[in-house]
Amino acid sequence: MGNEKKGKGGRPKMNPNKKRSVSVMLCFTAAEHAKLMEEIAESNCSELADYPRGKPKMREDRFIYNPRKVLNELEAIGKEAGAISKKH
């Protein structure tokens, strides 16, 4: 009975490859911040920190599907079509 290991409890150790240990602090002008927030709003990111993490994957040679942008464009087309149909 004395040789049994007891669990320590608490959170298990994280995989070192997934552990985030580097912090980055950036300063923006008001215009740069507004542009950044606009890009984040148009992206699939739910949090501010997710956007820069995914940005290196968003190179010009890769196709990135952004459903929010497409849905916004479809909504605008629908509004224009409604306005045209009301005129006729």
Q: What is the pLDDT of residue 46?
A: 75
Residue-wise pLDDT tens digits, 18-74: 888 888 888 999 999 998 888 888 877 778 888 877 766 656 555 555 667 778 888
pTM above 0.75, yes or no: no
Residue 8 has pLDDT above 80, yes or no: no
| Tokens at 59, concatenated | 């190179």
Q: What is the pLDDT of residue 1?
A: 55
Give one word for 28, left, alpha or beta, with left for phi > 0 and alpha for psi -120 to 50. Answer: beta
Rounded to 5 degrees, φ, ψ at 80 are -65, -40
Q: What is the pLDDT of residue 29?
A: 94
User: What DSSP character marks residue 56?
Assistant: G
Q: What is the pLDDT of residue 53?
A: 76
Rounded to 5 degrees, φ, ψ at 35 are -65, -45
Apex 36 CA angle, 34 and 40, nearest 5: 115
